[in-house]
Amino acid sequence: MLFKYFNFLFLVFASVLAEEKDVVELTDETFSHELERLENTLVMFYAPWCGHCKRLKPEYAKAAEMLLDNDPSITLAKVDCTESGKDTCNKYSVSGYPTLKIFSKGDFVSDYNGPREAVGIAKYMKAQVGPASKELNEENCLKSFLDSDEVSVVGFFEKEDLSLATTFHAVSKKLKEKVRFAHTTAKSLMEKEGYKNTIVLYRPKILQNKFEANIVKYDETMGDIQEFINKNYFGIAGVRTRDNTAEFKNPLVVAYYAVDYIKNSKGTNYWRNRIIKVAKDFPNLNFAISSKDDFQHELNDFGIDFVKGDKPVILARNINNQKFVMKDEFSVSTFEAFLKDMEAGVLEPYLKSEPIPEDNSGNVKIAVARNFDELVTNNDKDTLIEFYAPWCGHCKKLAPVYDELGEKLANEDVEIIKFDATANDVPGPYEVRGFPTLYWAPKNSKNNPVKYEGGRELDDFIKYIAKHATNELKGFDRKGKSVKPKSDEL
């Protein structure tokens, strides 16, 4: 039994080594010498105990493998800041983990601010070290360039000084971290392809389908070049990842299932093609497919804890960011019916909300998504709202101060509210990116709440509210000093 255990540990250890075999391990002794001989290097400064580092490592290793044959060469390396690389990490002011930096021949170039998934890392690094647009001189060059799983954009120009060519190169420099660009002035290549003084977007073979064109030719009626690329890049239903989520805008319909173009491209396209078959008839909506595992947090936001079976789960947001869930099991017909109802505005939005409290008589009122308008938007009072998380240490520290504030202002024309932002949908126009987040909403300007950035002691809150209250408080002057109510004066 003990032998089996150690054998298992060996296999695990060996698999980890295998996964990272293409990542160069650097130390204080080897750092400078190794980087000087390497043309381009991305270095990850990490700590073995760091959770973010552990999550990044397999993606980092995959990216290193993808970049092995790149021209110019790109190497991915790592430095352990807790052991053999302490001095190097101090030299480059590494204060958090993981920190990534780009080097060229030993010289520091810039901090890495790109994606954290393998494909995104590889694409970002290629864009950093190579030309924005690759020059193609002959037919084989184009064939080789298009042999990719990514969308490619190619410019065909008689002369490099054409206005269209100049604009193309400007756009390629701007979008080089997102899009693969190439260009040619080779007459034979243009004659072979049948393109001259134009730009062509090629969809990779892995994403081609019978419902949309595999090749899209640019013309001036499509707007400027960047607009043309942005509009056509993802096709009817784009592959949405954690790195590109910001590029998909509402109104957005997303199909969540086992999206995996590495291990199961056939199965992935089976469902994507059915999504596209219906989506092509709804040009006013944006569509995407996403991995259900990578986006479990989004599924949770729609009240879905687990996706059973292989069929896609359909979730959507309209232009006002309201959420909608397709409750029926996916089929071409149920999907089409859902989209028609969504466009017609007859679907009931999904609202993530705790139950409305039965007793809400305390000095600090509890708001949930279902009663937010009643307690905040329509209460005809100045309102201070705390958006908190139950697990947040800073929120727990603030709780007794906040309760005392509620007591101090119990008889004022001010409402003190708290809202669990982990269990309820946060309504617009409020934005919560950390906890606790506080907003001041004047009674005559509820659509324009102001983020509270002041101190978090009792006196800080009272001074702020006394100064900004629509009407002067009864028990405090405008500077927050306690005063006797006028009814008590002789």
What are the beta bridge partners of residue 256?
A: 290, 313
Compute the Cα dihedral for 155, 158, 164, 167 and give only its sign.
positive
Q: Is 141 a catalytic residue?
A: no
* Residue pair 406/362 in contact by the 8 Å Cβ criterion: yes
Using N-to-C axis directions, what is the helix angle for 118-129 and 51-66, rounded to 10°?
60
Peptide bond before residue 400 is cis, with ω within 30 degrees of 0: no
> Facing residues of 323 across strands?
317, 350
Half-sphere exposure in the Cβ direction for 134 (13 Å, CA): 21
- 89 in active site: no
Q: Which structure tokens are listed for 351? A: 């609202």
Backbone angles phi, psi at 92, to 5 degrees: -100, 20
Annotated active-site residue in 53, 81, 89, 141: 53
- The amino acid sitting at 376 is V
- Sheet of 215-217, strand order: 133-135, 180-184, 152-156, 198-202, 215-217
Decide if 392 is catalytic: yes
Q: Please list the residues that pair with 315 across neighbouring strands.
A: 254, 325
Task: Strand 364-367: give its sheet, edge to edge.
Answer: 364-367, 414-420, 382-388, 437-441, 450-451
- Give me the catalytic one of 81, 89, 141, 395: 395
Q: How far is the C-alpha of 366 from the C-alpha of 372, rounded, in Å?
A: 9
The neighbour count for residue 260, using CB atoms within 10 Å, is 12
**d(Cα 268, Cα 288) in Å, to the nearest integer?**
12
If phi over 0 gives left and psi between -120 and 50 gives alpha, with beta otherwise, what is residue 93? left
Token reading at 148: 């990719």
Q: Tell me which of 81, 89, 141, 392 is the catalytic residue.
A: 392
C-alpha distance from residue 478 to each of 464, 468, 469, 471, 481 (Å):
9, 8, 9, 10, 7
Query: How many helical (H) and strand (E) elements, i.e. helices and strands, does the chain have?
Result: 15, 20
Query: Which secondary structure element, helix H or strand E, spans residue 46, and what is its range?
Result: strand 40-46
HSE, side-chain direction, 13 A CA sphere, residue 456:
16
Please list the active-site residues: 50, 53, 392, 395
